[in-house]
Amino acid sequence: MNSIFFPLKAGIGLRSVHYQALLETRPAVGWLEAHSENYFSAGGATLRWLTRLRELYPLSLHGVGLSLGSTDQFAVSHLEKLKQLIARFEPVLVSEHLSWSSVNQRFFNELLPLPYNESTLAYLSQRIDQVQHYLGRQLLIENVSSYIQFKASTMPEWVFIRELVQRTGCGVLLDINNVYVNAFNHGFNPETYLAAIPSDAVKEFHLVGFENHHESLLIDTHSRTVADGVWEWYQKALTYFGDIPTIIEWDNDIPELKQLVNEAEKADNYRKIYHERTQ
């Protein structure tokens, strides 16, 4: 359980199409999560919007471009911009992805999965240590969705994440949708996943919608409401990890702000049920 940040309500991912509506309507969401790289400029409109919204809501920063699993060296300018953004906006949580997205400094617009083995574990542990030392704070690592498995993998994802936490002291941003999608695509029991992750390492939940392609493959599109099956595993995750700060994400076919707020309210209803059962 995060002893510093405990919002009373679920939050939503901050997207530019909602800047104005958020300021005008000020919905009763608990917090906002912004993609770090969208605010790396030295000035301009996006930073002004974020400054105004930060006055109204707690904020977290969620990176999509650090490419933790890449063999490329970290761009010092990227880390420095992230550090400056943290100093300016004082986010309650800072996170990145368990993935890679660059080769020879050429970046892809995807969060690509990694083989889970001892070599990757040692390499990624060193990279996370480097980032946490540079930023001077804990980094949360998010599990990503995947559609392939590597022959080079020697351990399941949940064991890899557990080892990563033990070696680096990083936290976990547990995307319940990605657990559900990967369980369907790769044929494992989500409960095995949840049971393996250290409960005190999980600091945040993500909830998002997927698309079902021909009843044989789930694609993590971030373009739908949260599926019923994901809501069921969200309720189970609450029993494993407690009432962790929760974000509703939506990145494609972005709806009106009201629909995101409705999804956040749905998460709050499940949180309320959890508290009633555990009192």
pLDDT tens digits for range 137-150 = 999 999 999 999 99
**Which pLDDT value is given to residue 1?**
40
pLDDT at 105: 86
C-alpha dihedral sign at 161, 166, 171, 176: positive
Look up the pTM and report it. Answer: 0.95
What pLDDT digit, counting tens, does each position of 220-239 carry? 999 999 999 999 999 999 99
What superfamily does domain 11-278 belong to in CATH?
Divalent-metal-dependent TIM barrel enzymes (3.20.20.150)
> What average pLDDT is seen over the chain?
95
DSSP assignment of 62-100 = E-SS--TT-SSPPPHHHHHHHHHHHHHH--SEEEEESSE
* pLDDT score for 3: 46
User: What is the spatial distance between Cα 99 and Cα 116, in angstroms, rounded to a whole number?
Assistant: 11
| Per-residue confidence band for 4, with pLDDT thresholds at 50, 70 and 90 | low
> Band of the pLDDT at 5, cuts 50, 70, 90?
low
Axis-axis angle for helices 76-89, 45-54 (nearest 10): 40
91/99 Cα distance (integer angstroms): 22
Q: Give the Cβ contact number of residue 198 at 10 Å.
A: 13
Q: Where are the beta strands (DSSP E) in 137-272?
A: 140-142, 171-175, 202-207, 211-213, 217-219, 246-248
Stretch 261-273: mean pLDDT: 98
Q: Which helix (H) or strand (E) holds 35?
A: strand 32-35
What is the C-alpha separation between 1 and 5, in angstroms, rounded? 9
User: In this structure, how many other beta carbons lie within 10 angstroms of the beta carbon of residue 237?
Assistant: 25
Domain ranges of the chain: 11-278
* pLDDT value at residue 106: 87
And the tokens for 170? 């990083």
Residue 240 has pLDDT above 60, yes or no: yes
**Which tens digit of pLDDT belongs to each residue from 100-127?**
999 998 888 889 999 999 999 999 999 9
